[in-house]
Amino acid sequence: MMEFYKNLSAGDWAALLPFGVACAAVGFGAKIFIDKKLGGTPVNLSLRKNESKIADSFDIEDIGNKAVFCRCWRSAKFPYCDGSHNAHNAATGDNVGPLIVKKKD
């Protein structure tokens, strides 16, 4: 197989160049398409962007009777819900809501 490439002239390589460029363009376009389809858009648009990963921890004893945690990443009081999910859902057609943790009644 390698012998085939060794025997190509400069003109042959020049003739193959458009095909190579077309293949690279198709591959690059496919990568962009797949990235968009598989989550190329970040969920977190503005919160604590200086952190490499946002993870919060709470002691259950400190939560009190009830805590409402944001799952839409739009709350100004993140990690707590401030109701911003309502505007997000209305604007995007999404259906996200908070996680509510409470003591049994």
Footprint of ligand FES (CB under 6 A) = 70-72, 74-75, 81-85, 96-98
- Cβ neighbour number for residue 87 with a 10 Å cutoff: 11
The catalytically annotated residue of 31, 36, 49, 53 is 53
CB of 105 to ligand FES, least distance (A): 23
Q: Is 83 left (phi over 0), alpha (psi -120 to 50) or beta?
A: left
Planar angle of CA 69, 53, 77, nearest 5 degrees: 30
Q: Give whichever of 67 and 71 is closer to ligand FES, judged by the CB atom.
A: 71
> Does residue 53 have an active-site annotation?
yes
CB of 42 to ligand FES, least distance (A): 15
Q: Give whichever of 51 and 61 is closer to ligand FES, judged by the CB atom.
A: 51
Q: Which residues are catalytic?
A: 53
